[in-house]
Amino acid sequence: MFPSVIFTFLAAFQFHTFEFLVCATDEKSIFILAGQSNMAGRGGVTNGTWDGCVPHECRPDPRILRLNPKLMWEEAREPLHGGINTKPCGVGPGISFANSVLQRDPCLGVIGSVTCAPGGTNITEWKQGSDLYYWLLKRANAALRDEGKIRAILWYQGESDSADETRAKMYKKRLIEFFLHIRRDLPSPVLPIIQVEPQP
């Protein structure tokens, strides 16, 4: 799963590593991580308790920050969505993604992860004008207070809409509407959105 996410990301940005350039950016590279529990992360959670195991890919790094529930930056650690979710969180894709991105392009500077993935949410709850929609915008704007640029949204959601056929059929339309609206309201009309396809 992770390699294909990164690949899409690279394809979207056409990254290059300029080995002979000095990396002199103070600007944060901000990624909005949104969706449902798949993005929040339940890795290593059994019976509501996380086992505390942190895979190597998810190791902390001083260059990887998260916007915590109080809208402050802090060094990112698993469980990345701790405090954002009411349900117990475990390992998710966020820190692993940030580590991969930094490995490929150390010049990106500091990675700012904006955690926005409450478990169990469906696409209707993310509709423009909803509480979640405004919450995401609020967190994104807070992330931009200091120097920074939103590079992409990582979107990992859909399982909640797969339970019945009617909703599943509506999903594509609802998702596209959400993407168009959120890009317009951020505002960043051509912001890359990286969608993870949930595996059956």
Binding residues (CB under 6 A) for ligand NAG: these are: 46-47, 122, 124-125, 167
**Sequential DSSP letters for 128-193:** TTSHHHHHHHHHHHHHTSSSEEEEEEEEE--GGG-SSHHHHHHHHHHHHHHHHHHHHHTT-TT--E
Best CA proximity match to 182, nearest among 80, 67, 32, 70: 32
Which one, 105 or 125, has the nearer CB to ligand NAG? 125
Q: Write down the least CB distance from residue 146 to ligand NAG, Å.
A: 34
Q: Write down the least CB distance from residue 69 to ligand NAG, Å.
A: 20
Distance between CA 200 and CA 197 in Å, rounded? Answer: 9
Which one, 55 or 120, has the nearer CB to ligand NAG? 120
180 CB neighbour count, 10 Å cutoff = 12
Which one, 47 or 199, has the nearer CB to ligand NAG? 47
Q: Write down the least CB distance from residue 85 to ligand NAG, Å.
A: 14
Which one, 14 or 47, has the nearer CB to ligand NAG? 47
Which one, 94 or 118, has the nearer CB to ligand NAG? 118
Best CA proximity match to 171, nearest among 195, 146, 143: 195
Q: Write down the least CB distance from residue 160 to ligand NAG, Å.
A: 7
From residue 20, alpha-carbon distances to 16, 25, 98 in Å are 12, 15, 23
Q: Write down the least CB distance from residue 42 to ligand NAG, Å.
A: 14
